[in-house]
């Protein structure tokens, strides 16, 4: 589980994208988006992610101001559009669980 405080913009959320055999995904020429929904199923983020290491499948999402104005458990995923326009979502067996803890002030 990734834990972060409400309204923070750091640290970024990172992921290593692997295939079913545990091998890292080659993302050369791909585009990646980060999606996050709240615990009620409402999509609250649908933005471009960063290819940190496209040869080794490492991606990240840099939080924007207002992204984390919610609290509670949220669910995220990285959606890859490959050069051939095919789409694959990671993780493909669930979601990244994100806990947003309320800020004091």
Span 11-34, pLDDT tens digits: 999 999 998 888 999 999 999 999
Q: What is the predicted pLDDT for the residue at 20?
A: 84
Q: What is the predicted pLDDT for the residue at 105?
A: 85
**Mind listing the domains of the chain with CATH numbers?**
2-101 (2.60.40.3350)
Q: What is the predicted pLDDT for the residue at 43?
A: 97
Span 44-101, pLDDT tens digits: 999 999 999 999 999 999 999 999 999 999 999 999 999 999 999 999 899 999 999 9
Specify whether the backbone of 29 is left (phi greater than 0), alpha (psi in -120 to 50) or beta.
left
Q: What is the predicted pLDDT for the residue at 19?
A: 87
Considering the entire predicted model, what is its pTM?
0.94
């Amino acid at each position: 589980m990734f834990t972060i405080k409400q309204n923070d913009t750091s640290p970024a959320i990172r992921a290593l994208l692997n295939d079913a055999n545990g091998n890292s995904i080659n993302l050369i020429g791909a585009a990646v988006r980060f999606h996050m929904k709240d615990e009620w199923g409402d999509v609250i983020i649908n933005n471009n992610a960063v290819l940190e290491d496209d040869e080794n499948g490492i991606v990240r999402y840099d939080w924007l101001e207002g992204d984390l104005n919610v609290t509670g458990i949220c669910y995220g995923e990285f959606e890859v559009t490959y050069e051939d326009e095919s789409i694959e979502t990671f993780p493909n067996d669930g979601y990244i669980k994100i806990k947003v803890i309320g800020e004091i002030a």
